[in-house]
Amino acid sequence: MKQYLLLGQTLSFSGNPLLTPWENVTHHNSAGGVLITGDRITAVDNADTLKRAHPDATIVDYGDALIHAGFVDAHMHYPQTRMIASWGKQLIDWLNTYTFPEESRFGDRAYADAVAADTLDLALAHGTTTLTSFCTIHPESVDAFFGAAAQRNMAVVAGKTCMDRNAPDTLVDTVQSAYDDSKALLEKWHGIGRATYAITPRFSPTSTPDQLQVLGDLWAENPDCLMQTHLSEQLPEIAWVKDLYPTSRDYLDTYETHGLLGAKGLYGHSIYLEPREIDRLAEVGAAVVHCPTSNTFIGSGLCDVLGLARAGVAMGLATDTGGGSSFSMLRTMAAAYEIGQLRGDVLHAAQLMWLATEGSAATLHQSGQIGHLGTGAMADITVLDLAATPLIAQRVKSAENVWDQLFPTIMMGDDRSIKDVWVAGSRVT
């Protein structure tokens, strides 16, 4: 079986640096190596040790570049790729003005195929090897996304977005079609190759209680699937939910009452959580996905990442494109750092990198398989050029350690910082 030996600086993790001193669980090797056998990582060690042990492996020498696990984007909307960076609206107006008209086009399979291909290629160009995406109400949109990912052998998570109210006629399904379509798509795609299905109510305002209930029933019938939705993104949204669900204890309760709260639940944003909601998310092992570029772009608010993590809530990181304004997980980490600063919680580069890889992988229940630079993981690997632009390069000249080298790339890097990407042991060209 073909073997590759990647040489350079390596960065890996053996624990959660949001809960443990980052120095204790972060592992950097300035002269490291990663052995790929087939589609798996089979060793991570000193470069010289691996060269001696595997003299026949094909060597790919990246010099001083940083080799780490491919980025994992835990929440995004591929149908919004072509309306990314749309001006001047907050959430509800933004949906009505930009998002819903664009998503209405995805019943056209050719259009969905084209956007899915563009989205995945843009992600790979930015070093992201796994996307977790909402599709549209159209089954064609789901088939397009999973099909494009299969062509690239990418691990992805996706599902048909379900909405039976408060949306244009072109984007409204029904209680029954939400269940039937989701079930058929789940049976078609879940666990096929590297595909994972996520049952996907958009959010409580666009689903009736009956629709939420049948999706909760479907999840109970298929507990190995994920469930993804939105939670407490903006204050007007929360007020709207209170009007629509007057008997619910809080926003999370609109999901919990209908069987949509569980360990494999992904709750995007979660900025304005009540104490009960935090306790319940932690108690059931559910995950919050932080979307910092979206939260600043749409004017949502400042997620309490460290506070939620310390409360026992699993945390991931995501671009939330097209509400988020960049496909780059580097830019996303920079925004997370900036939001932390505004909250008085400074995130270290190690914590940011963990969120963008291991943390997001854990929210998808794929720890050790993706987002991980370690033996047995799929060889989804990103290589960072830590001096990709003149501005970054001049800053790195005064670096005293790897964190001084890496942090400027987190703050100022983009797709130019991506030196190379591997997916399932194959180099992306």
Torsion-angle region of 88 (φ positive above 0: left; ψ -120 to 50: alpha; else: beta) = left
Cα(313)–Cα(355) distance, integer angstroms: 13
pLDDT digits (tens, 9 = 90+) for 48-83: 999 999 999 999 999 999 999 999 999 999 999 999
Ranges of the chain with pLDDT below 70: none
What pLDDT, on a 0 to 100 scale, did the predictor assign at position 22? Answer: 97
Give whole-number Cα distances, 11 to 237, 323, 330, 357, in Å: 40, 30, 15, 11
Q: Which value, in Å, is the radius of gyration of the alpha carbons in the chain?
A: 21
pLDDT score at 92: 82
State how far the Cα of 380 lies from the Cα of 231, in Å rounded to an integer: 30
pLDDT at residue 124, as a whole number: 98
Residue 98 tokens, joined: 């930009």
- CA gap 227, 186 in Å, rounded: 12
* Amino acid found at 115: V
Quote the pTM value. Answer: 0.98
Element (H, E) at 195: strand 195-201
Report how far residue 302's alpha carbon sits from residue 323's, in angstroms, rounded to the nearest whole number.
Answer: 15
Let me know how long the chain is.
429
Strand 265-269, strand 287-290: pairing: parallel
pLDDT the model gives residue 212 = 98
Structural domains in the chain? 3-70+371-427 (2.30.40.10), 71-363 (3.20.20.140)
Angle at 200 (CA atoms; ends 130, 181), nearest 5 degrees: 110
Task: Compute CA distances 97 → 74, 91, 195, 427, whole Å.
Answer: 25, 10, 32, 40
The rounded distance, in Å, linking the Cα atoms of 277 and 189 is 32
User: What pLDDT does residue 429 have?
Assistant: 75
- Distance (Å, whole) CA 117 – CA 124: 11
pLDDT value of position 139: 98
Q: Beta partners for 36? A: 4, 41
Determine the distance from the C-alpha atom of residue 238 to the mean position of all C-alpha atoms in its chain, rounded to a whole number: 24
What pLDDT shows up at residue 89? Answer: 78
d(CA 122, CA 128): 9
Q: What angle do CA 417, 120, 324 make, to 5 degrees?
A: 70
**Residue 322, preceding bond cis, omega within 30 degrees?**
yes
Is residue 370 a contact partner of residue 386, using CB atoms and an 8 Å limit? no
- Decide if 315 contacts 359 (C-beta within 8 A): yes
β-bridge mates for residue 426, sequence order: 423
Pairing mode, strands 265-269 and 226-231: parallel
